[in-house]
């Protein structure tokens, strides 16, 4: 029915078609919805392309073509691969082996962290990588006597820089590659196409961070709690062959844990209270900690320690056990029963790992604790525990915590091997979507990652945002808006040279990424930049890379990139910290990437 409106849409006002003005109005609505109303990005972007299709600016096929694009499928599969490495504890093992435990100068310590981090971030999604490294880096920094704030912001920045070194380093790179493929099918970007720009930017970024990051001042606590914190008591055992055996409490990083307090060490029949920092740990030592629930879970994931209860070993083997918090109900039959006496494992197929009782530190042995109404239990159970116990009255509330309960560290090598094979296959010319999906299926088939967790690891919001971005880019082209903006820019900047065009493309995309998602910024700037390049006789390849780097290189704000936001709280940073350290880095990357592209393509 909208076909009759197409001639009207071709009418122009100020050299912009009616369809172009409708597109402008919808884009303003996108900015208003995201910035002012703070609506979810995926909802706003999907609503925008749906409205564009409903108004006839683009066809429904064009609006939703991104959902059928192989790039979208590849990104979803790569998320599964990244989560597999995270859940097997692969990044924790990497951190433990590469960071070291001996104090060193701040710059040497930064080198220990940043160089090893840059390599995996080039080949896996940097969001789960940074998420897993944050607690390890925080504890490591305190262990070697430095402020965590010195390391967490550089950790985020170097993961972004590393992601710019390959096509699969960030989802934004893949989106831009997909847009380029639609624009010019012969234009094919390989796995290492961005490397010739990414490596110089990474090297310069490393040098900059090593000299600037030590100036980040000492920060306050990184844990923020609202109201009374829920303190759990948990006992951990030093495992046989543990990396902690033979190390002191301080050298093992167990003395100044954020949100945790080491109460005592139980050795044979002896209890060592007021634990000295130079006490050397032995295999079989039992360590009693009190702390917040997320800190307790981080501790349970640490290599070399296991929960000191045989209840976990007696659980039926399952590769999809989860952490749960369960509150004992007021009418529960568990009240006044001890955990051992209630035969908790037999009745529920779950192991009690820790108990929180409001305002009271429960210092009995775990199995001897008599439960009260309102006690919060930290449990390890199968994925179906919450559904099976939702309505039986035993527990007033059951909530699931993120991730697998116990990292399957024996499978970490398999996960890293699959990632290596994926990179090798793509480098040898295999189809990116085919290789990515094959890797995800292989990880599930080898039981490295449970099927239900593989499904949940696909960020639906991210997938919708990416698919919708393709529709927005098509609307800019189909409505003639991209060509109109390019024509206007060409008139305003008649003497625009190649280097200035590259720098303008990077700057505009980078600024837009601070307001929208990186993917949306790339999708909006890509058609405009390519149209402008065509008018001034610039080949499309350098513009593609300039948009790619401008969209991802967001350092000046914690809101510019997801990993920046992840370290913002734990590092106790301010917006000013990000601007002071990140803005010069953003300028450096913009100038350097534009210079490299200019030398390669125009000299």
Q: Mind listing the pLDDT tens digit for each residue in 12-51?
A: 555 677 887 888 888 888 878 876 777 777 888 888 889 9
pLDDT band at 203; cut points 50, 70, 90? very high
Q: Is the pLDDT of residue 222 over 60?
A: no
pTM: 0.68
Q: Is the model's pLDDT at 317 over the cut of 60? A: no
Q: Could you write out the DSSP letters of every residue in 420-481? A: HHHHHHHHTT--HHHHHHHHHHHHHHTTSS-HHHHHHTS-HHHHHHHHHHHHHHHHHHHTTH
d(CA 118, CA 126): 10
- Residue from 219, 221, 200, 212 nearest 579 by CA: 212
Helix axes 149-163, 195-212, angle to 10 degrees: 170
The candidate with the shortest Cα–Cα distance to 452, out of 377, 386, 392, is: 386
CATH of domain 231-307: 3.30.70.1450
pLDDT at residue 274 is higher than 50: yes
**What single-letter DSSP state applies at residue 368?**
G
Among all chains, which residue has been given the structure tokens 């006002």?
13
Residue 87 has pLDDT above 80, yes or no: no
State the Cα–Cα distance between residues 398 and 326, nearest whole angstrom. Answer: 4
Structure tokens given for 445: 């088939």
> What is the number of other CB atoms lying within 10 angstroms of the CB of residue 54?
12
Q: Reduce the DSSP state of residue 576 to 3 states and report it.
A: helix
Topology agreement, domain 231-307 and domain 322-405: yes
The pLDDT value recorded for residue 465 is 81
- Is residue 512 a contact partner of residue 552, using CB atoms and an 8 Å limit? no
Burial 324-347 (b: 16+ CB within 10 A, else e): bbbbbbeebebbebbbeebebbee
Tell me, what's the pLDDT at 591?
95
Q: What's the pLDDT score for residue 265?
A: 84
pLDDT (mean) for 334-352? 82
Non-local (6+) Cβ contacts of 260 within 8 A are: 289, 290, 291, 292, 295, 296, 299
CATH class for the domain made up of 322-405: alpha beta
What is the pLDDT confidence band of residue 490, given thresholds at 50, 70 and 90?
low
Cα–Cα nearest to 460, from 176, 129, 76: 76
Q: With 60 as the cut, is the pLDDT of residue 404 above it?
A: no
pLDDT band at 363 (very low <50, low <70, confident <90, very high): low
195-224 core/surface letters (b: 16 or more CB in 10 A; e: else) = bebbbebbebbbebbbeebbebeebeebbe
Specify the 3-state DSSP secondary structure of 389. helix
Q: Please state the domain extents for the chain.
A: 231-307, 322-405
pLDDT of 258 strictly over 80: no
Contacts of 359 (CB under 8 A, 6+ apart): 228
Which stretch, 28-37, 129-138, 253-262, 276-285, has highest mean pLDDT? 276-285
452: left (phi over 0), alpha (psi -120 to 50) or beta: alpha
41 three-state secondary structure: helix
Q: Residue 212 pLDDT more than 80?
A: yes
Q: For the segment 413-456, what is each residue's pLDDT rounded down to a tens digit?
A: 888 888 888 888 888 878 888 988 999 999 999 888 888 778 88
DSSP 289-336: EEEEHHHHHHHHTSTTEEES-THHHHSPP-TT-EEEEEEEPTT-TTTT
């Amino acid at each position: 029915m909208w076909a009759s409106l197409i001639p009207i849409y071709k009418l122009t006002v100020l050299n912009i078609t009616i369809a172009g003005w409708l597109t402008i109005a919808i884009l303003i609505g996108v900015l208003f919805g995201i910035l002012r109303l703070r609506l979810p990005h995926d909802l706003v972007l999907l609503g925008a392309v749906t409205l564009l299709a409903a108004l006839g600016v683009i066809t429904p096929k064009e609006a939703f073509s991104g959902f059928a694009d192989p790039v979208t499928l590849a990104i979803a599969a790569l998320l599964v691969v990244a989560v597999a490495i995270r859940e097997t504890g692969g990044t924790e093992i990497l951190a433990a082996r590469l960071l070291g435990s001996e104090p060193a100068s701040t710059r040497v310590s930064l080198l220990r962290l940043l160089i090893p981090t840059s390599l995996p971030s080039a080949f896996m999604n940097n969001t789960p990588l940074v998420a897993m490294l944050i607690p390890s880096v925080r504890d490591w920094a305190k262990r070697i006597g430095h402020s965590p704030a010195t390391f967490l912001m550089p950790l985020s920045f170097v993961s972004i820089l590393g992601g710019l070194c390959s096509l699969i380093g960030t989802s934004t790179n893949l989106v831009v590659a997909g847009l380029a493929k639609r624009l010019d099918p012969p234009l094919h970007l390989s796995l290492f196409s961005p490397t010739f720009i990414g490596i110089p930017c990474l090297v310069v970024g490393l040098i900059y961070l090593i000299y600037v990051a030590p100036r980040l001042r000492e920060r306050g606590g990184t844990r923020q709690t609202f109201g009374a914190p829920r303190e759990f008591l948990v006992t951990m055992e030093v495992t046989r062959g543990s990396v902690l055996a033979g190390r002191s409490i301080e050298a093992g990083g167990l003395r100044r844990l954020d949100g945790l307090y080491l109460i005592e060490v139980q050795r044979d029949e002896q209890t060592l209270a007021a634990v000295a920092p130079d006490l050397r740990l032995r295999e079989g030592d039992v360590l009693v900690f009190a702390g917040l629930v997320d800190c307790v879970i981080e501790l349970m994931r640490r290599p070399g320690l296991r929960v000191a209860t045989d209840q976990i070993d007696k659980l039926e083997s399952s590769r999809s056990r989860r952490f749960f918090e369960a509150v004992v109900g007021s009418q529960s039959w568990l009240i006044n029963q001890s955990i051992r006496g209630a035969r908790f494992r037999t009745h529920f197929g779950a192991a009690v790992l820790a108990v929180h009782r409001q305002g009271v530190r429960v210092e009995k042995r775990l199995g001897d604790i008599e439960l009260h109404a309102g006690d919060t239990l930290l449990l390890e159970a199968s994925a179906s525990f919450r559904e099976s116990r939702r309505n039986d009255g035993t527990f007033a509330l059951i909530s699931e915590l993120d991730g697998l309960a116990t990292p399957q560290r024996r499978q970490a090598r398999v996960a890293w091997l699959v990632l290596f094979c994926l990179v090798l296959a793509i480098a040898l010319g295999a189809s990116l979507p085919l290789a990515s999906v094959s890797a995800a299926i292989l990880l599930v088939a080898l039981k490295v990652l449970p099927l239900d967790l593989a499904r949940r690891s696909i960020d639906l919001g991210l997938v919708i945002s990416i698919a919708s971005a393709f529709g927005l880019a098509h609307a800019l082209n189909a409505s003639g808006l991209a060509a109109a903006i390019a024509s206007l820019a060409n008139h305003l900047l008649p003497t625009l040279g190649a280097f200035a065009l590259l720098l303008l493309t990077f700057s505009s995309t980078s600024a837009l990424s601070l307001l929208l998602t990186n993917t949306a910024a790339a999708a909006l700037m890509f058609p405009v930049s390519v149209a402008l390049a065509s008018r001034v006789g610039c080949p499309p390849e350098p513009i593609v890379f300039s948009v790619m780097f401008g969209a991802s290189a967001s350092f000046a704000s914690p809101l510019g990139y997801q990993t920046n936001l992840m370290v913002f709280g734990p590092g106790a940073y301010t917006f000013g910290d990000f601007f002071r350290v990140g803005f010069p880095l953003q300028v450096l990357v913009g100038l350097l990437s534009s210079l490299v592209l200019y030398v390669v393509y125009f000299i």
